[in-house]
Amino acid sequence: MNFRMWVAGVCAALVFLQVPAAAVAKQDGGQSGPDLAEHAVSAVMMDAATGALLFEKNSHQKLAPASITKIMTMLLAVEALEQGRVRLEDRIRTSERAASMGGSQIFLEPGEEMTFEDMMKGIAVASANDASVAVAEFLAGTEAAFVEQMNRKARELGMRDTHFVNCNGLPAPGHYTSAYDIAVMSRELVKHSQALRWTSIYEDYLRKDSDRPFWLVNTNKLVRFYQGVDGLKTGYTEEARYCLSATAKKGDFRVIAVVMGEPTSSVRNAEVARMLDWAFQQFEFVKLYGAGDVVGRIRIEKGVPERAAVVVKETVGILLRRGETPGDVRAELRGRPAVAPKHKGEEAGRLTVLRDGRTIAEVPLYLAEDVRKAGWWEMLARTWRGWIGGRP
């Protein structure tokens, strides 16, 4: 790709652009842009790679989220899986409290055991309130302790419109979030491929070989009926009405569409589909680096190797309106002062991206390899090479 070659020639690294402000269709109390979510109380369309808002309507209005709450529950659960605090095959015992949740459920009985993976399928596909509490209790001891972790994670992600009271979204005073915050936590969840494997299931069975089989059918019908949709979560209560956070990917371009307070499930699905159509028609994403790609090397004092490879952890690239050119873009790779030894995965620097002389993004970089401390003879040899190389 000529454009990618041009970027590599400019900075030998990556470029990470945000959508220009003029590209955002904003509807805060009024309408100044395409009427994409006419019937929703609030709505957001976000680019998953950059976090740029493509469309918003009352995006920070605090509302009851219903089962969209479970996006945060799934996020904490998949992080626990990746950290080794739980395994897919671990068996989770259902407490009486978890079994009593009601609403959407997989009809767990007190004392019943089910694998962590099957519990997560129940949450992601069937929006199971009982499985949500069972997983929360397993990971944190009590649901209350797990909810504390949910609120802590919300603060870490900058979700200023959010306060969780439970892990499943059942109606409760003081339990609220916004369309913008839902998009933020959705963006965080889609970074985890295991979560998308669960949310993209349209139908499956639990207890398949028992006398109590349970047929799972995804509450998010767009998973089946809109090409590219592979998540995330529906929600409904009488107070919240019909809500949905959906994600779809075409090529390298992934978007997140959130609607809250829709009058019916069919209107909800139709408006989200319209939002997705609009995003894919209006914008394009030029991928520069995928998760784990090496973007350069930085110097580690007394390290072997002397210059260590650094990577990004997420897909990064340029989001443009169709037909738009990037303008004057440059990027500066800045390593942190560091002395060996260092370990793979440690944050090692940042990439500052400038457009027309203005900083538009700072991207964290991580070591792609272990860096051991150089021995005495290795340091002496480097000193000698430096002296020889510096001779007139």
Q: Which residues are catalytic?
A: 67, 70, 127
Instruction: Tell me how far apart the alpha carbons of residues 222 and 232 are, in angstroms, rounded to a whole number.
Output: 10
177 three-class SS: strand
Residue 173: Cβ within 10 Å count: 6
161 closest CA partner among 255, 28, 257, 59: 59
Instruction: Tell me how far apart the alpha carbons of residues 339 and 343 are, in angstroms, rounded to a whole number.
Output: 11
**Please, which residues bridge with residue 320 across strands?**
284
For helices 70-82 and 143-156, angle between their N-to-C axes, nearest 10 degrees? 90
Instruction: Tell me how far apart the alpha carbons of residues 91 and 67 are, in angstroms, rounded to a whole number.
Output: 24
331 closest CA partner among 293, 367, 296: 296
Q: What is the radius of gyration, based on Cα positions, of the chain? A: 24
Task: Give me 306's structure tokens.
Answer: 């002397």
DSSP H or E segment with residue 133:
helix 129-140
320 closest CA partner among 14, 2, 5, 18: 18
Residue 255: Cβ within 10 Å count: 27
**Please, which residues bridge with residue 235 across strands?**
243
CA 298 from centre of chain: 28
Please tell me what DSSP assigns to residue 369.
S
Helix (H) and strand (E) counts in the chain: 11, 19
Residue 148: Cβ within 10 Å count: 13
- E strands, 290-337, in order: 294-299, 303-304, 307-311, 316-321, 329-335
